[in-house]
Structure 1
Amino acid sequence: MSSEHAVRAVLVCLQFLIGILLANVDISSSGAEEGAAPDGEALYQQRCASCHEGSVTRAPDRNALRQLSEPRIGFQLTYGLMSQQARDLSKEQIGDLVRYLKGTAPTPPPELPDSSCHDDGPKLTDASLPRWNSWGVDLHQHRFQPADQARLAAEDVPRLKLKWAFGFPGDVRASAQPTVWGGALFVGSAGGKVYALDTATGCQRWMFDAGFGVRSAITIGEDARGLTAYFGDQRGNAYALDAETGKLRWTRRVDEHQAALITGAPTLADGVLYVPVSSLEEALAADPRYGCCSFRGLIAALDAMTGELKWRSYVSPPAQPQGINSIGVQQFGPAGGAI
């Protein structure tokens, strides 16, 4: 296998893992028969086993997939990032595949304890409390924390001990960097939830459901409205939330391309939110039926108060027809340059 094909195989498997963690939707079992399991097994062997049976190290095996709910898997096969790969499957076939992956329903997990905070905690506006904002701390992305904010000397590091832990319900992976601001820790999850946790105890101040996975770090901004938390999701949407309550202020689809997603943290400067846009088109390109490739990396500038689009700047000109592939599908270029 060439290095290019190997990279594509890994991307396809990673896309499946990311996709099944993004959101929930109900998959109806109407019309499915008791004997549908063999069809689901055949579909799994044809479309999934090559990655999920050990040939790609980072792809979750069937036991890991079985821990996820039917709606989570089915959503992506029907409507989400895997819909391109499953576009020629019927609803019944998708249901068969999902039920095969689930196998015998596991024992329901115990009910989770209430993790809500029972008091307000420190004020987020308290400037004396440590802050680590967004990905790089400052507009220069220095990723350096001054001593008065870190409150931790080098000689203290060997003595650090676990104070608390927070588990993301239903998720099997965590990749978003936390943001710390005024006694609260803001973090997104693969399952599409954004949490504000108390830094002292780990209790949950609020939770917002974006519906799609959130990998970007949260960026906190302060203006006449108070504090706002900005972030992006893995369907190319940017959000602004009231950082005190988690209430939605606005949301904006930054780019309409089907493969667009946001993984980088937005940057806030002078009332403008700069949002980087990436994609998973490399994974879609593994399907020869897909007209690859047309995504162009871009930066979008949004009004921080309203979410209104000010401008977009792309890394390349619009894609143009570049020939036909071996099965007669039109191909395009230039493309790529994800940010």
Structure 2
Amino acid sequence: MITVFGSINMDLVARVGRIARPGETVLSPRASSFFGGKGANQAVAAARMCGAGSINVAMVGAVGDDVFGKACLDNLRENGVDVEAVRIIDEPTGCAFITVDDSGENAITVASGANMAVRAADAPERLLSGASVVVLQIEVPLAESLELARRARKAGAMVVWNVAPVPSAIERMAIADMLATTDVLVVNEHEAVAVAAFMGEDVGGNCFKASSILARMSGLVCIVTAGAKGALAVGPDGTQYRAAARPVTAVDTTGAGDTFVGVLACGLAEKRDLGDAMRRACVAASLSCLTSGAQAGMPTREALERALTVSPTLAE
């Protein structure tokens, strides 16, 4: 079982020549809607990767009683995600406003809506006691995520915490509590440095130094995702694992990090060794950049297996 506790959004995406600077207006020919939210993205990535196998994927979250909410729930079901623990409430469904430039880079603003009403109590024990992996992010209330993580650890589940988006301000004790409830921490280069700084560690902008410090001080595995450079994991004893990304001509990088986390969770739930789980997650994240939208390009298990057997170049 993989249980994802987190956000569910509708993404509104506009393609632009370049991302607007503060105070500037940039025109786009049209806007498109896609399913998103880091929690929902990671649940879909995991479900597509686990396929019709023995590992089920469940989502714990909240949506509004509106058109976006209904569509988001239908989409999760269609992707094989159990949505019994997703509440429908009297708040608007979360919405993300995304601009994507010609190079595939993006800028995102999220209106949280119903996501702020997600509670740890929404997760029934059946999703924790039977869960092999519980996945969390930072788009729902942190206090609720911490409570859910504590429950999951007590039930014997492995906790994977993706510290994204990193909070602009947070108490050191809250970060310490988060690290204490984590088995596998997943951060990008900037997030690694920010989390280390919250813990009072000056790493001079070196994300890999940050990952080593976090792994050692908290007794966890810290994985740093670095886009086209792949990913590096450091264990509490200093053991390192590296995985390469595949070279691609990116159409849209939105959701690549969530693809990595979801596919990693599937690999861990399947009891793969960390290096193999990371390798599969990196290739899947590369594949996801070939299609617009956070979830649209997330590969199925079959697509990933094909990619793993061909040339490292996936840009064609």
By the TM > 0.5 criterion, same fold? no
Higher helix share: 2
TM-score after normalising by structure 2: 0.31
TM-score after normalising by structure 1: 0.30
Indicate the structure whose relative CO is greater, using CA pairs within 8 Å and at least 6 residues apart: 2
Who wins on radius of gyration, i.e. which is larger?
1
